[in-house]
Protein backbone atom coordinates (compact mmCIF):
# COMPACT_ATOMS: atom_id res chain seq x y z
CA UNK A 1 0.00 0.00 0.00
CA UNK A 2 2.94 2.31 0.60
CA UNK A 3 4.00 2.32 -3.06
CA UNK A 4 0.47 3.20 -4.20
CA UNK A 5 0.29 6.06 -1.72
CA UNK A 6 3.67 7.38 -2.81
CA UNK A 7 2.69 7.27 -6.49
CA UNK A 8 -0.71 8.86 -5.96
CA UNK A 9 0.64 11.58 -3.67
CA UNK A 10 2.61 12.98 -6.61
CA UNK A 11 -0.53 13.57 -8.69
CA UNK A 12 -2.09 16.99 -8.26
CA UNK A 13 -5.83 16.91 -7.62
CA UNK A 14 -6.02 13.14 -7.11
CA UNK A 15 -8.64 13.77 -4.43
CA UNK A 16 -11.21 14.69 -7.10
CA UNK A 17 -11.09 11.38 -9.02
CA UNK A 18 -13.03 9.22 -6.52
CA UNK A 19 -15.44 12.08 -5.86
CA UNK A 20 -16.19 12.50 -9.57
CA UNK A 21 -16.59 8.73 -9.97
CA UNK A 22 -19.06 8.63 -7.08
CA UNK A 23 -21.05 11.55 -8.49
CA UNK A 24 -21.19 9.89 -11.93
CA UNK A 25 -22.41 6.64 -10.39
CA UNK A 26 -25.10 8.36 -8.33
CA UNK A 27 -26.24 10.43 -11.32
CA UNK A 28 -26.47 7.34 -13.53
CA UNK A 29 -28.37 5.45 -10.84
CA UNK A 30 -30.85 8.29 -10.36
CA UNK A 31 -31.41 8.65 -14.12
CA UNK A 32 -32.04 4.92 -14.51
CA UNK A 33 -34.39 4.86 -11.51
CA UNK A 34 -36.41 7.80 -12.85
CA UNK A 35 -36.50 6.21 -16.30
CA UNK A 36 -37.77 2.95 -14.83
CA UNK A 37 -40.43 4.58 -12.67
CA UNK A 38 -41.76 6.74 -15.52
CA UNK A 39 -41.84 3.90 -18.07
CA UNK A 40 -45.26 3.00 -19.43
CA UNK A 41 -46.59 -0.30 -18.18
CA UNK A 42 -47.16 -1.55 -21.74
CA UNK A 43 -43.50 -0.91 -22.60
CA UNK A 44 -42.35 -2.75 -19.47
CA UNK A 45 -44.53 -5.73 -20.37
CA UNK A 46 -43.17 -5.70 -23.92
CA UNK A 47 -39.60 -5.76 -22.64
CA UNK A 48 -40.46 -8.54 -20.19
CA UNK A 49 -41.75 -10.73 -23.04
CA UNK A 50 -38.67 -10.29 -25.26
CA UNK A 51 -36.69 -13.30 -24.00
CA UNK A 52 -39.72 -15.57 -24.33
CA UNK A 53 -40.56 -14.39 -27.85
CA UNK A 54 -37.02 -15.11 -29.01
CA UNK A 55 -37.23 -18.66 -27.63
CA UNK A 56 -40.59 -19.20 -29.36
CA UNK A 57 -39.10 -18.13 -32.70
CA UNK A 58 -36.21 -20.58 -32.31
CA UNK A 59 -38.57 -23.41 -31.36
CA UNK A 60 -40.72 -22.71 -34.42
CA UNK A 61 -37.63 -22.85 -36.66
CA UNK A 62 -36.67 -26.27 -35.27
CA UNK A 63 -40.19 -27.66 -35.72
CA UNK A 64 -40.46 -26.54 -39.36
Q: What residue spans define the domains of the chain?
A: 19-63
Residue 51 is predicted with a pLDDT of 86
Residue 4 is predicted with a pLDDT of 82
The pLDDT tens digits of the residues spanning 15-63 come to 899 999 999 999 999 999 999 999 999 999 998 998 887 666 666 666 6
**Closest to 28 (Cα-Cα) out of 38, 36, 18:** 36
| Residue 39, φ and ψ in degrees, nearest 5 | -70, 140
Q: Give this prediction's pTM.
A: 0.59
- Between CA 57 and CA 37 the distance in angstroms is 30
CA separation, residue 56 to residues 43, 45, 48, 49, 64 (Å): 20, 17, 14, 11, 12
- Between CA 57 and CA 64 the distance in angstroms is 11
Amino acid sequence: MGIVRSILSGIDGVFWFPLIALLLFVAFFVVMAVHTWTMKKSRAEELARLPLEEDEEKNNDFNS
